[in-house]
């Protein structure tokens, strides 16, 4: 039984191999040899077929008179073959006159660039660092302190630097310092005005006079005006605070206090401000 099964298996395998070979042949043959139906087109043509497709031209019969050429026609004549050229017949070409050629036909070449000499670089002067004397630098440092810490004016700083009771520096060093100090004089005037208003309770007019006074802060009128325009103060409260000081320190009457508040030689408050102070004085 086993032998029969092996035999059948072998037969089936052989049939499969043959079938695969036949399929490959059917698929590969047209690729290399063309289709089976066009095989007749590939048969080489016979000689007769070739002659029918490309017939030779009809033979031309030549008569004896045409086949025999006349001696005159076949005689070689040296003079005819190579004509003699005389030297006189050869014309010498005239030289080409470029000036006679029109401008548009004459190929003009651009002129050669004229070599220009590179300009000699001008040596730049070396920036000289200004040497500041030690005295000048010291005066400038002190001026910065007076400006930043005490908010002094330009003239007040100069006087403080040159005063024998102050810094006692030379006028040249002091002038250099106030000219080079980093300051906003308007802001300095405003800061001074705030001090007078908040600590000394001065009136508007009194503060302005103190800012521009030669015996005071020595600001310019424009700087003092800037300070008064930007100063935020309660002038009624300042007048009341001044009235309380007079009452506590001198036991002055309300009438005397009022006169002191509005006096040109006193506090220089406005009448309405002084009236507010006397009305609220206890």
Task: Tell me the pLDDT tens digit for each residue of 72-81.
Answer: 444 444 444 4
CATH number at residue 225: 1.10.10.10
Among 89-93, 184-188, 240-244, 267-271, name the one with the lowest average pLDDT. Answer: 89-93
Domain co-membership, 277 together with 266 = yes
Among 111-120, 192-201, 269-278, name the one with the lowest average pLDDT. Answer: 111-120
**Assigned domain for 216 exists:** yes
For the segment 259-273, the average pLDDT, to the nearest whole number, is: 97
pLDDT at 261: 97
Number of domains in the chain: 3
Domain co-membership, 170 together with 188 = no
**Assigned domain for 49 exists:** no
Domain co-membership, 153 together with 190 = no
Q: Which of the pair, 129 or 82, is modelled with greater confidence? A: 129
Domain co-membership, 159 together with 139 = yes
Percent of the chain with pLDDT over 70: 64
**Assigned domain for 51 exists:** no
Is the pLDDT at 185 greater than 70? The verdict is yes
Domain co-membership, 282 together with 240 = yes
Domain co-membership, 260 together with 218 = no
pLDDT at 20: 82
pLDDT at 183: 95
**Assigned domain for 117 exists:** no
| DSSP result, the chain | -HHHHHHHHHHHHHHHHHHHHHHHHHHHHHHHH--GGGTGGGSPPPHHHHHHHSPPPPPPPPPHHHHS--HHHH---HHHHSPPPPGGGSPPPPPP-GGGS-TTTS-PPPPPPPP-PPPPPPPPPPPPPP---HHHHHHHHHHHHHHHHH---HHHHHHHHH-TTTT---HHHHHHHHHH----HHHHHHHHHHHHHHHH---HHHHHHHHH-TTTT---HHHHHHHHHH----HHHHHHHHHHHHHHHH---HHHHHHHHH-TTTT---HHHHHHHHHT--
Domain end point (choices 195, 214, 231): 231
pLDDT at 36: 52
| pLDDT band (50, 70, 90) for residue 22 | confident
**Assigned domain for 86 exists:** no
pTM above 0.85, yes or no: no
**Assigned domain for 24 exists:** no
**Assigned domain for 79 exists:** no
Domain co-membership, 211 together with 238 = no
Domain co-membership, 226 together with 240 = no
Task: Tell me the pLDDT tens digit for each residue of 191-232.
Answer: 999 999 999 999 999 999 999 999 999 999 999 999 999 999
Is the pLDDT at 258 greater than 60? The verdict is yes
Domain co-membership, 156 together with 190 = no
Domain of 281?
234-282
Domain end point (choices 193, 212, 231): 231
**Assigned domain for 240 exists:** yes
Domain co-membership, 141 together with 155 = yes
């Amino acid at each position: 039984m086993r032998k029969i099964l092996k035999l059948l298996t072998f037969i089936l395998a052989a049939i499969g191999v043959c079938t695969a070979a036949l399929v490959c042949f059917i698929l590969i043959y047209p690729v290399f040899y063309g289709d089976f139906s066009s095989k007749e087109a590939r048969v080489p043509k016979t000689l007769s077929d070739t002659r029918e497709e490309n017939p030779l031209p009809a033979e031309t019969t030549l008569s004896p008179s045409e086949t025999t050429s006349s001696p005159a026609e076949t005689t070689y004549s040296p003079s005819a073959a190579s004509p003699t050229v005389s030297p006189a017949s050869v014309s010498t070409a005239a030289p080409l006159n470029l000036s006679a050629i029109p401008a548009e036909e004459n190929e003009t070449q651009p002129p050669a660039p004229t070599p220009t000499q590179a300009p000699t670089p001008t040596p730049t002067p070396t920036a000289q660092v200004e040497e500041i004397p030690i005295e000048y630098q010291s005066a400038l440092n002190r001026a910065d302190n007076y400006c930043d810490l005490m908010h002094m004016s330009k003239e007040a700083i100069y006087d403080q630097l040159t005063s024998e009771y102050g810094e006692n520096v030379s006028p040249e060093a002091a002038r250099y310092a106030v000219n080079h100090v980093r300051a906003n004089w308007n802001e300095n005037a405003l800061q001074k005005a705030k001090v007078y208003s908040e600590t000394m309770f001065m009136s508007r007019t009194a503060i302005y006079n103190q800012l521009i006074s030669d015996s005071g802060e020595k600001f310019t009128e424009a700087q003092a005006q800037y300070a008064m325009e930007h100063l935020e103060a309660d002038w009624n409260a300042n007048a009341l605070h001044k009235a309380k000081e007079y009452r506590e320190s001198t036991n002055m009457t309300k009438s005397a206090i009022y006169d002191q508040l509005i006096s040109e030689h006193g506090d220089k408050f406005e009448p309405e401000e002084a009236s507010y102070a006397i009305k609220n004085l206890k």
